[in-house]
Chains A and B, each alone.
Chain A
Amino acid sequence: GAGVSQTPSNKVTEKGKYVELRCDPISGHTALYWYRQSLGQGPEFLIYFQGTGAADDSGLPNDRFFAVRPEGSVSTLKIQRTERGDSAVYLCASSFTGNTEAFFGQGTRLTVV
């Protein structure tokens, strides 16, 4: 596609529910990143994929968060047993390979009520 696409753009869920956020990177980009941005803050790193494998998941806050990229293209960020503190904008980015220019999607605004 022309850019990084994230769906849904907004998600409201009840505390304790499970959510999935989807990212469709730029075609041909092998590197894919997930970040989380709270209001008034810069984005914070969650996980980095090179191809199908998670090369660095050091930013995932706890084991309720999990991400996959089974075919090396689309990625899904999965959050179990959501908490109100998970409310944030979740941003996905892709780049041709690691340490090259990153391009971001529009984000998914997650609200846990």
Chain B
Amino acid sequence: ETGVTQTPRHLVMGMTNKKSLKCEQHLGHNAMYWYKQSAKKPLELMFVYNFKEQTENNSVPSRFSPECPNSSHLFLHLHTLQPEDSALYLCASSQPPSSGSYNEQFFGPGTRLTVL
């Protein structure tokens, strides 16, 4: 399998549930990202990991908990979410800065999350 994959593609959960989103990249990148895309809003960066270390947390509520066990895998653990958290959650990866390339981010297909 190539590129960036995300599972599950669709998720419906209640406010009291705990679930996890998974992202895997097969591109040899060392930076990974979580974004939230709500209707009629720009993509919102949530978290950034460089070489497995979290380098950015964009004021995300603690009910979202990221985990990066290695450079190829990124998880987003969800608990006690609110209906307004319903959105498309996109994972991306890239080479780190100063690697001499465009550093364009490659995105997965996203997980469509609905919180009831």
Partners in one complex: no
